[in-house]
């Protein structure tokens, strides 16, 4: 590890990527970390190497640029699993989006820029299994191998278009991304996020809660993602139809014979538990006041128009967090803009006057209680 850290810190730019097992485990974890300097590729196995604390200073160092493609997921995973913090990021996908490139996925970009065809064979691989096959390691290595050269091309294009400062604000925002706290126990309100849950009568909602809880316990026990145990459409149909026998389960949406064999009796018990439970009340959804919604709608329309004129996606102009903060805390002066979330100096200079005019009070819009 010490030799790796020495090599990484001797290079001013290092490409970074990760591979995780989100499609194969109850709780996702980073299973591989790839690094590429302009001259060398490295692959680190965090399952075999339990202590990666030697990398903490590297990721936090403002003197070393870390190149990612679609940084957010990698930053969240590395922060969650190893408590790394980040400074000095260059995100090649974010840069390509700022430039209005028509395709910004890594495979498409490498094909267009370098004529390289990346294999998609291992996109859904279980990176938590060991040993890893040689072709899987080659696949992982190529995810960072071309990023230093790609970074240089993008950086040149950003500077030529006068977009480098704006892109830098996006890089800094990505570096501030914080992983959410992982709850060790199931949120009792989580079942309400199943599509269609709020349409159920109270009795069936209680059953959905019970079968949802059963599925989570089985996912944890077998270390599988919940969707691989039982899909949400199946859970919802169980709640709607209230099966009483194993034969009843065979008519449930997407319920396979194997699932009936593995889970049938437990699901029928869960249905009975749900029917005996106190029906749950759906959580109250917060509603924004009318004046906030009016300002957000105006900002949203303005952002869309701006993005279409420039040929980029809307959030390249301003992130959604900025729109909501502006709508909730309308600035009275240009100086107030500096306190708005994710509204950097470059964007304030570009759009500040337009935003101030857009935020001017409108007659006939009355604030209502939330």
Please give the backbone phi and psi of residue 48, each rounded to the nearest 5 degrees, phi first.
-80, -35
Mean pLDDT of 297-305: 97
Cβ–Cβ contacts within 10 Å for residue 311, how many?
Answer: 11
Among candidate residues 256, 108, 75, the one with its CA nearest the CA of residue 179: 75
Among candidate residues 35, 20, 10, the one with its CA nearest the CA of residue 141: 35
Query: Residue 18 in contact with residue 74, Cβ under 8 Å?
Result: yes
List residues bridging with 13 in a β-sheet. Answer: 65
Residue count of the chain: 370
In angstroms, the CA 194 to CA 197 distance is: 5
Q: What is the pLDDT of residues 153-165, one digit of tens each?
A: 999 999 999 999 9
- Give 7's Cβ-side CA count (13 Å radius): 14
**pLDDT value of position 9:** 95
**pLDDT value of position 370:** 42
**pLDDT value of position 136:** 96
Among candidate residues 258, 223, 257, the one with its CA nearest the CA of residue 23: 223
Could you say which DSSP state residue 128 is in?
A: T
For tokens 């930053």, the residue is 75
Assigned token pair, 358 = 């857009």
Q: What is the pLDDT of residues 186-220, one digit of tens each?
A: 899 999 999 999 999 999 999 999 999 999 999 99
For tokens 């959804």, the residue is 285
Q: Which domains does the chain have, with CATH numbers?
A: 2-175 (3.30.420.10), 190-276 (1.10.150.80), 290-358 (1.10.150.80)
In angstroms, the CA 99 to CA 114 distance is: 18
């Amino acid at each position: 590890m010490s030799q790796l850290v020495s090599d990484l810190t001797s290079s001013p730019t290092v490409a970074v990527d990760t591979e995780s097992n989100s499609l194969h485990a109850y709780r996702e974890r980073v299973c591989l970390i790839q690094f590429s300097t302009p001259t060398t590729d490295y692959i680190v196995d965090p399952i075999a190497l339990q202590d990666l604390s030697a990398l903490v200073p590297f990721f936090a160092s403002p003197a070393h640029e870390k190149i990612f493609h679609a940084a957010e997921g990698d930053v969240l995973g590395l922060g969650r699993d190893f408590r790394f913090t980040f400074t000095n990021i260059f995100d090649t996908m974010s840069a390509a989006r700022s430039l209005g490139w028509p395709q910004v996925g890594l495979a498409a970009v490498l094909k267009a820029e370098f004529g390289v065809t990346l294999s998609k064979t291992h996109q859904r691989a279980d990176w938590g299994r060991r040993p890893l096959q040689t072709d899987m390691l080659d696949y992982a290595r190529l995810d960072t191998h071309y990023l230093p050269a790609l970074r240089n091309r993008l950086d040149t294009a950003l500077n030529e278009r006068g977009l480098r400062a704006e892109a830098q604000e996006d890089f800094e925002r990505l570096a501030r991304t914080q992983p959410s706290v992982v709850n060790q126990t199931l949120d009792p309100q989580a079942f309400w996020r199943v599509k269609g849950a709020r349409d159920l009568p109270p009795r069936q909602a209680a059953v959905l809660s019970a079968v949802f809880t059963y599925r989570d316990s089985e996912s944890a026990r077998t270390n599988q993602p919940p969707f691989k145990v039982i899909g949400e459409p199946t859970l919802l149909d169980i709640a709607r139809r209230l099966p009483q026998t194993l034969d009843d389960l065979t008519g449930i949406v997407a319920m396979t014979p194997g699932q009936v064999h593995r889970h049938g009796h437990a699901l029928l018990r869960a249905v009975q538990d749900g029917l005996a439970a106190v029906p749950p009340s759906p959580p109250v959804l917060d509603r924004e006041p009318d004046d906030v919604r009016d300002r957000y709608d105006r900002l949203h329309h303005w952002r869309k128009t701006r993005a279409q004129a420039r040929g980029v996606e809307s959030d390249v102009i301003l992130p959604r967090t900025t729109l909501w903060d502006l709508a909730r805390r309308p600035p009275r002066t240009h100086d107030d803009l500096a306190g708005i979330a994710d509204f950097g100096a470059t964007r304030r200079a570009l759009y500040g006057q337009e935003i101030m005019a857009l935020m001017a009070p409108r007659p006939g819009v009355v604030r209502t209680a939330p």
